[in-house]
Amino acid sequence: MARIIVVTSGKGGVGKTTVTANLGMHLASKNYRVCLIDMDIGLNNLDVVMSMEDRVVYSMLDVLENKCRVKEALVQDDVFPLLFLLSSGGLNQNLTITISQIKRVIDELEPKFDFIIIDCPAGIDAGFRRAVSLADEALVVTTPHLSSLRDADKVVAILSTYNILSKRFVINRARGDLIQDKLMIDVHDIGRTLGIEFGGVIPEDDRVLLSTSASISNNKCALNRAFEILASNIITGEKKLFDCTYKYRGFFGSIKKLLKRKV
């Protein structure tokens, strides 16, 4: 039976979809059967991030409207045959989507996958509630900024009212140069603030836009290493830390820091 993990945050734009896509690719690269579900209904973009938008024929909405079967709506990744996407499709104002309808879809997928990863919409309204009520585990994505952390903290409190067995946080867009100079809140301090388990740290890196299933095998890329560690923490339950400050230590590190500030 699949582990069902919701990727949530409260605040919008902090990297939920990015984490969902990359985590899915890394798990599938380790031979796990992975289904990504876009629950950001109406504002769905997981298909675009996965470069699958041209191949989406049916969506979750079509399944709910009985226009197709669940397996017909799944899109298989080009590079990792064990990775699938169930896109949410556009908003149909006339359709009220209930938790039990989506649960039926998930119940059908559960025996076929090792991981079902749900990309949650921003906010804490109906879309959020639908997404989290279906999951057993949650990844709370936050950036190291106070506004994002405050929303993450509220989401952690709300999650405790759901039947979520495990809650981990992921710090996205961490800047090693700023953490090294104590200008950005430290990973351990974030852990103490949120009071949930550590899941992973993902550095700020523009290459996130280029990250595709074809490029994730590049071990030299810090972004790939960070997602690789996140995936292995999810699989094993370990709390390994990707150290994003390593580049900025010592003599050459100081020069890199100065250069980064000037950009």
Residues that bind ligand ATP (CB under 6 A): 9, 12-18, 40, 122, 172-173, 202, 204-206, 208-209
CA distance 28 to 153: 30
Q: Which is nearer to Mg ion, 16 or 130 (CB)?
A: 16
Smallest distance from the beta carbon of 35 to Mg ion, in angstroms?
Answer: 17
CA distance 105 to 175: 39
- At position 176, the amino acid (one-letter code) is G
Helix axes 146-159 and 187-194, enclosed angle (nearest 10) = 40
Please list the residues that pair with 166 across neighbouring strands: 137
Residue number with the shortest CB distance to Mg ion? 17
DSSP per-residue codes, 132-155: HHT-SEEEEEE-SSHHHHHHHHHH
Smallest distance from the beta carbon of 55 to Mg ion, in angstroms?
Answer: 19
Smallest distance from the beta carbon of 173 to ligand ATP, in angstroms?
Answer: 5
Q: Which is nearer to ligand ATP, 176 or 191 (CB)?
A: 176
Q: Of 123, 122, 160, 154, which Cα lies nearest the Cα of 138?
A: 160
- At position 160, the amino acid (one-letter code) is S
Number of residues located near Mg ion, criterion CB under 5 A: 2
Q: Which is nearer to ligand ATP, 18 or 180 (CB)?
A: 18
Smallest distance from the beta carbon of 237 to Mg ion, in angstroms?
Answer: 26
Q: Is 17 in the site for Mg ion (CB under 5 A)?
A: yes
11 neighbors 39 (Cβ within 8 angstroms): no
Residue 205 near which of Mg ion, ligand ATP, none (CB within 5-8 Å, type-dependent): ligand ATP
Smallest distance from the beta carbon of 16 to ligand ATP, in angstroms?
Answer: 4
Residue 209 near which of ligand ATP, Mg ion, none (CB within 5-8 Å, type-dependent): ligand ATP
Interacting span for Mg ion (CB under 5 A) from 13-21, 170-178, 188-196, 229-237: 13-21
Q: Which residues neighbour 37 within 8 Å (Cβ) at sequence distance 6 or greater?
A: 60, 85, 86, 88, 106, 109, 116, 117, 118, 119
Q: Which is nearer to Mg ion, 85 or 184 (CB)?
A: 85
46 neighbors 20 (Cβ within 8 angstroms): yes
Q: Which is nearer to Mg ion, 17 or 59 (CB)?
A: 17
Please list the residues that pair with 4 across neighbouring strands: 116
Q: Which is nearer to ligand ATP, 40 or 62 (CB)?
A: 40
Smallest distance from the beta carbon of 119 to ligand ATP, in angstroms?
Answer: 7
Smallest distance from the beta carbon of 17 to Mg ion, in angstroms?
Answer: 3
Q: Of 121, 97, 108, which Cα lies nearest the Cα of 46?
A: 121
Q: Which is nearer to Mg ion, 16 or 167 (CB)?
A: 16
Q: Which residues bind Mg ion (CB under 5 A)?
A: 16-17
